[in-house]
Amino acid sequence: MNALIHRLRTQARAAEARTDLVVAIVALALAALVVPTALRGEGPTLANLQIVGYFGAIAIAAMGLNLLVGYVRLVSLGQGAFFAVGAYASAWLLVDGDLSPLLAILVALVAAGAIGAVLAVCSMRLRGPAFAMITLVVAILVEQILVEWRPLGRLSGYPNALDHGSGLIDPVEIFGLTLEPPLFAGTAVTVVIAIVFVAAIVFLGYRNAVGSAWGRSLRAIGTSEHLAAHLGVNVFSRKVVVMAVASVYGALGGVFYAQVMAHLQPETFDIFLSITIVLAVILGGGGTVVGPVIGAAVIVILQQTNVLVPVVDAQRSISDSWYLSTPGLIGLLLVLTLAFLPHGIVGSLVRLTHRGTEEPSEVETGADDGSELARSSDAVADAVLSVPTDGGGENLLEVRGAVRRFGGLTAVGGVDLTVRRGTVHALIGPNGAGKTTLANLVTGVYAVNEGELVLEGQRIDRWPTHRIVRGGVARTFQTPLIFAEESVEENVLAGFLDTGTMPFWRAWLKLPGQYRRNAEMRERAEQLLELVGLAGHGHLEAGNLSYGKQRALEIARALASGPKLLILDEPAAGLNTSETSVLGELLIRLRDRGLSLILVEHHMDLVTQVSDEVTCMNTGVVLAHGSTAEVLADPAVVEAYLGVAVEEGS
Amino acid sequence: MDAVISGLVLGGLFTLVGQSIVLTFVTTRTINFASGEFLAVAAFIGLGLGSWTWLPGPGKIVIAVLAVGVLGALTYRFLVVPFSHGEHDTRWLLSTVGLSYVLVNLLTNAYGANPQRLGFGRISEPKTLLGANINAQALLITVLAIIVTLVLVAGSKWTSSGLLMRAVAEDAETASLMGVSPRRVGAYAYAGASALAGLAGVLWAAEVGVSSHLGLPILVSAFAVAVIGGLTSFWGPLVGGAIYAVVVQIASYEIGSLWGSIIGLLLVIGVLVVRPEGLLGRRMEAKL
């Protein structure tokens, strides 16, 4: 058995490594295609080489923007500004600052990253379009600085003959190699060679990052920040990091642009540049790995070659004054893409191929036998669950006198609740009793106004959600919060604490040890799916699962973090009778292996089946507490649920 | 002092366009990123009406404003409604950005990039206010902006259409169950908002000339103003416009126009750090 698992794990690892290797070879080979032409540097090819260099620059900026627009779903209209910062800062440091090329480039990138991070710190609490508005304001301001600030040459561009004696940035020399721009016939265009290889490398790093647990956290934030925090992600700092990374990618594009053109004009960096990069992402496919690269290629061809000339000419033959030229056509293309290709070129292709392979039988009908949750076995549970029972007393969680008010409403008014290790504590009460608010207090969604929360002897009532989650508390939600467009397996993988703890650099580099960890996580995810009765569902799109299965999936994801305490918010809501009893068996299995549970529930059958202890809340206070039988027999509880009993005959 | 007064007067222009932004945001939770180009479109319509010598200036302004209002309703119907399914769908943002490029490009190709004289709708004699020489046209716009603000504040509070508007903003689905058509309310909001942008466009173009690039700088300032004041309050653009324009004007007088813009941005960022919902905005709690 162990040998088999080991072999499967090795195979999975090898498959992943093989895919990565093939992608790396393809990327580098594509880059290498440019080399012979660039080395000859013949006059007629220079214009095309310039376009290739420009494509590399835009593609890199678009990859960075995709992290924001495609993954975190924050629309930035300011990527062009970071492109400009990279271009102008590196050029200025080279020409006026006289820094060594590598240092100049590095400083420019760090500066752009810092600006991005500061902007993120200031604006990440914004919801809705405000982020797009602010980035637009920044983009316009940067353009204004380029146009008006004297040291950057204003409209004469940078560098210019008047201030610098030459209108061109001298070719830089890095590691003994002189990077010649595509300007002089007969000179090897070494800068384009450097660009395509660096672009290939930063593409591979970006691909590693988005395919990693780090990348998963971005999708999680894009779906719901609330959920992301409950996966252990520090949403604020992750957004700051991703904004900084996106800015550095934008600036790297700008650095390359400066090297290819050897001269900068401020009007190149107007707001239209930002829109061009946005269109590259949207057209190629936001949230897909290669989308931005494909999109950049299409846009650059449209803009820099004369393929659009016939379109313009055709319009002008109708009306010589009312027609669209390139910027207008790009704007129109943006609208058409949004309307007819919302997932972009790559996203749509992926969807097409998926539809071909998936059996249509997975359209769920809800209650038929085929779609029931499968019962799992003790053996699976033993294999998957290992709750650390390291000391800290008998009580895992103690809620003491918790109070939470919303304005004038006291949702939770002085509640005590103790969860003993390895027990199920059911929390019942009519709607509006404050049960979910209490659950939200435990996971730090709201801070308590009064009272304390103690987890394993530690005060947690001032901890942010992600820290509480990492401390061993996991939960599911009243309405399932899942990544509907991702596979079931991806959903479970998002549950591992790696999602919150993996740093960007580790994700980008993807060190060899990562393959082992990925195989391990995939294997555990498989086991967890089996445990909750979803064996064999891993490849399906999560949004297509029935409601009951989505709830099971949420439990599997919550278990992936290896929690000590699992909070289930109405897990049986919407489940049929047999599904409820399967769920009950699962909960008992979890408890028997040392997990502690808080079960917020209305289904009294389930409560009776699994609970060791019951607390009944009403209007924010504890109405009754004790063993299941005691609480359910309590007249006050019956009254809260059913109203005052009317005496017969009265 | 001169800077303060001229700032207050200039702020009116940003307030007027800012109200256009807030109006669509409070009703539909969307913003027309092509609003800036609507300023230019209105100005060009006004320019086209120049040959109708029988029609007095105010008549031409009314026609231009109404036409842009219709354009706004069409924009809502064809570029916003199909691109806003749920809170995660922000395609409307990009589709209106796309529209703005189409409009700028069309106008530039048709009329060239140089500003042209509008020839009506301008108050030419200079005015003095509190001892400072001010631009009479900007003062006119500011007076209009204040009137528009008061009308919007009062209208949203006390009229039935204001109630409908707030109902749709609060919960479009429930409102539609109550027999309100969120789309119709949204279309009216877009028409009204675009008319405001058009009004600002014609009046400002009368002062600075008609050009295809009239709108973008004003839109950017209006964004800053709306964010400072808060996107959810009709008082926001008025307060934000006054603060923003005064700060930018003082900085421009004292250090230079570039620094004026930079300090304006820093002001926006400063407000965001302290109050992300804007000075007068209402904090929107996410439903869990």
**Would you call B261 and A144 a contact, using CB atoms and an 8 Å cutoff?**
yes
Q: Could you tell me the CA-to-CA distances from A75 to A111, A274, A300 in Å, in that order?
A: 22, 11, 21
The ipTM value here is 0.90
Q: Say which of A122, A271, A335 has its CB closest to residue B98.
A: A335
Region of residue A122 (phi > 0: left; psi between -120 and 50: alpha; otherwise: beta): alpha
- Residue whose C-alpha is closest to residue A322's, from B212, B78, B80, B34: B212
What is the full DSSP assignment across A333-393?
HHHHHHHH-TTHHHHHHHHHHHHHHS-GGGS--SSSGGGSPPP--HHHHHHH------SS-
Task: Give the three-state DSSP class for A533.
Answer: coil
The band of B165, judged by pLDDT with boundaries at 50, 70 and 90, is: confident
Phi/psi of residue B260, each to 5°? -55, -45
Q: Which residue segments constitute the domains of chain A, with CATH numbers given? A: 45-300 (1.10.3470), 378-648 (3.40.50.300)
Structure tokens at A178: 């002189």
**Would you call A272 and B101 a contact, using CB atoms and an 8 Å cutoff?**
yes
Instruction: Please give the residue of chain B at the shortest CA–CA distance from A437.
Output: B288
Distance, in angstroms, between B182 CA and closest chain A CA?
A: 19
Selected residue of B101, B111, B227, B266 to mutate for chain A interface (largest A Cβ count, 10 A): B101
Using the predicted structure, report yes or no on whether residue A377 has a pLDDT greater than 80. no
B265 vs A: CB within 8 A: yes
Interface of B with A in 41-100 (CB under 8 A): 79, 82-83, 88, 90-91, 93-95, 97-100
Q: Which residue has the higher pLDDT, B88 or B177?
A: B177
How far apart CA A206 and CA A215 sit, in angstroms, is 9
What tens digit of pLDDT does each residue of B26-59 get?
Answer: 888 899 999 999 999 999 999 988 888 888 878 8
- Residue whose C-alpha is closest to residue A481's, from A234, A230, A307, A267: A230
Within 10 angstroms of residue B92's Cβ, the number of other Cβ atoms is 25
What is the model's pLDDT at position A453? 93
DSSP A396: E
Q: Say which of A121, A322, A338 has its CB closest to residue B110.
A: A322
Its CATH architecture, for the domain B2-114+128-274, is: Orthogonal Bundle (1.10)
What tens digit of pLDDT does each residue of B177-233 get?
Answer: 888 888 888 999 999 999 999 999 999 998 888 998 898 899 999 999 998 998 888
How far apart CA A331 and CA A324 sit, in angstroms, is 10
**Would you call A445 and B288 a contact, using CB atoms and an 8 Å cutoff?**
yes
Contacts of A440 in chain B (CB under 8 A): 288
How far apart CA A44 and CA B117 sit, in angstroms, is 46
Instruction: Please tell me the pTM assigned to this model.
Output: 0.91
To 10 degrees, the CA torsion angle through A351, A357, A361, A363? -10
What tens digit of pLDDT does each residue of A157-170 get?
Answer: 888 888 887 888 88
Selected residue of A115, A137, A144 to mutate for chain B interface (largest B Cβ count, 10 A): A137
Using the predicted structure, report yes or no on whether residue A388 has a pLDDT greater than 70. no
* DSSP bridge pairs for A474: A566
Selected residue of A73, A118, A121, A133 to mutate for chain B interface (largest B Cβ count, 10 A): A133
**Would you call B102 and A331 a contact, using CB atoms and an 8 Å cutoff?**
yes
**Would you call B97 and A275 a contact, using CB atoms and an 8 Å cutoff?**
yes
Structure tokens at A230: 């409950």
How far apart CA A332 and CA A338 sit, in angstroms, is 10
Q: Of all helices (H) and strands (E), which one includes residue B165?
A: helix B160-170
How far apart CA A119 and CA A110 sit, in angstroms, is 14
**Would you call A338 and B99 a contact, using CB atoms and an 8 Å cutoff?**
no
What tens digit of pLDDT does each residue of A87-120 get?
Answer: 999 999 999 988 899 999 999 999 999 999 999 9
How far apart CA B148 and CA B19 sit, in angstroms, is 8
**Would you call A148 and B257 a contact, using CB atoms and an 8 Å cutoff?**
yes
How far apart CA A570 and CA A477 sit, in angstroms, is 8
Using the predicted structure, report yes or no on whether residue A356 has a pLDDT greater than 60. no
What tens digit of pLDDT does each residue of A53-82 get?
Answer: 999 999 999 999 999 999 999 999 999 999
B32 vs A: CB within 8 A: no
Instruction: Please give the residue of chain B at the shortest CA–CA distance from A71.
Output: B88
Within 10 angstroms of residue A165's Cβ, the number of other Cβ atoms is 8
Task: Give the three-state DSSP class for A510.
Answer: coil
Within 10 angstroms of residue A125's Cβ, the number of other Cβ atoms is 15
**Would you call A339 and B272 a contact, using CB atoms and an 8 Å cutoff?**
no
Using the predicted structure, report yes or no on whether residue A192 has a pLDDT greater than 50. yes
Using the predicted structure, report yes or no on whether residue A359 has a pLDDT greater than 50. no
Task: Give the three-state DSSP class for A507.
Answer: helix
What tens digit of pLDDT does each residue of A22-59 get?
Answer: 999 999 999 999 998 888 888 888 999 999 999 999 99
Contacts of A465 in chain B (CB under 8 A): none
Using the predicted structure, report yes or no on whether residue A243 has a pLDDT greater than 90. yes
What is the model's pLDDT at position A44? 86
Q: Residue A279 in contact with residue A299, Cβ under 8 Å?
A: yes
Where are chain B's structural domains? Answer: 2-114+128-274
Using the predicted structure, report yes or no on whether residue A216 has a pLDDT greater than 70. yes
